[in-house]
Amino acid sequence: MIDTGRYLIGTAGVSGFGSKSTPDEGTENCDLRSTTAIITGATSGIGAETARVLAKRGARLIFPARNVKAAEEAKGRIVSEFPGTEIVVMELDLSSMSSVRSFVAGFESLHLPLNLLINNAGRLAHEHAISEDGIEMTFATNYLGHFLLTNLLLKKMIQTAEETGVQGRIVNVTSGIHGWFTGDLIEYLRLISQPKCQFDATRAYALSKLANVLHTKELSSRLQKIGANVTVNCVHPGVVKTRLTRDREGLLTDLVFFLTSKLLKTVPQAAATTCYVATNPRLVNVSGKYFTDCNETTPSGLGSNSSEATKLWAASEILVTQHPKAAFDPFS
């Protein structure tokens, strides 16, 4: 009850920020003119607001997008507000592992540094679908595509940090809904990746968001073991009505959002935690943590389970490897 009251009031936590904070406030003293950032899902909602604020602070931005036209329009809006902002639009379908590889190859051909990777894109669909790689579509888009994208970009991020002396940061956008998932992750993924199955859209979404949390935990451990000057954290942005719910529009969805309207954040408020974790100097060397309302908190019990994180990583390597028997080691 006390926590709910603090949330509604917007009481600041130990970071000095809270549920009502905005990304403009959280990045007020940040100078990102030497920063290159990749932001997935930057065409609308939280991703677009994150991109706007990073551009305001001077960052060079890379927009990977399935809908290139929408990305160009998002770029135009930012450049009109902040003339001189450098934004590169590139095609990427996160549900396709071949598309992820093509994007990374294209990015590498630009010979740019990479300081910041924000894995923000997500989908919530009520219809069951399978990706071209044979993986349930929500999991493929929200987690597996980002897993491969991150691994393929790690060498560039590690190299950039070594050359500049500035710590690289990876931010995985998850959701508090990750705590709704219980059971065997891999077995449930196997079941919903079949052409015919009993499909629960909410549980599938919760699984993908739990995978984001576990990915953060395991990747942080691996980065620390090799002494890489790169951190990774995950954030729960809060509840906000964005285009993420576009596949679930209707009377029931509208009624739920109306009844919970006092708990909803604005899009800027929802982007605040992402921007805080991506840029705040307080978080140097902070890695493997879970944040909400711009403050560190604790994920679910399953999301804190190191053995589950290791198991998911091993399964993910197999799923994204072109030749399943081949070793996949981004740190070599």
Q: Is 88 exposed, middle or buried (0-12, 13-18, 19+ CB in 10 A)?
A: middle
Q: Which of 188, 205, 276, 290 is catalytic?
A: 205
Query: Any catalytic annotation for residue 205?
Result: yes
pTM, entire model: 0.90
Q: Are strands 290-292 and 295-297 parallel, antiparallel or unpaired?
A: antiparallel
Contact (CB, 8 A) for 123 and 204: no
Which helix (H) or strand (E) segment holds residue 22: the answer is none
Contacts for 16 with CB less than 8 Å, ≥ 6 apart: none
Domains (range + CATH), the chain:
1-321 (3.40.50.720)
Residue 257 is classified by DSSP as H
Contact (CB, 8 A) for 289 and 295: no
Residue 41 is classified by DSSP as T
DSSP helix/strand/coil, 169? strand
Question: CA–CA separation, 153 vs 104, rounded Å?
Answer: 7
Per-residue pLDDT of the chain (332 residues; tens, 9 = 90+): 334 445 444 566 889 999 899 999 999 989 999 999 999 999 999 999 999 999 999 999 999 999 999 999 999 999 999 999 999 999 999 999 999 999 999 999 999 999 999 999 999 878 999 999 999 999 999 999 999 999 999 999 999 999 999 999 999 999 999 999 999 999 999 999 998 899 999 999 999 999 999 999 999 999 999 999 999 999 999 988 655 444 545 555 555 555 455 568 999 999 999 999 999 999 999 999 999 999 999 999 999 999 999 999 999 999 998 543 333 344 44
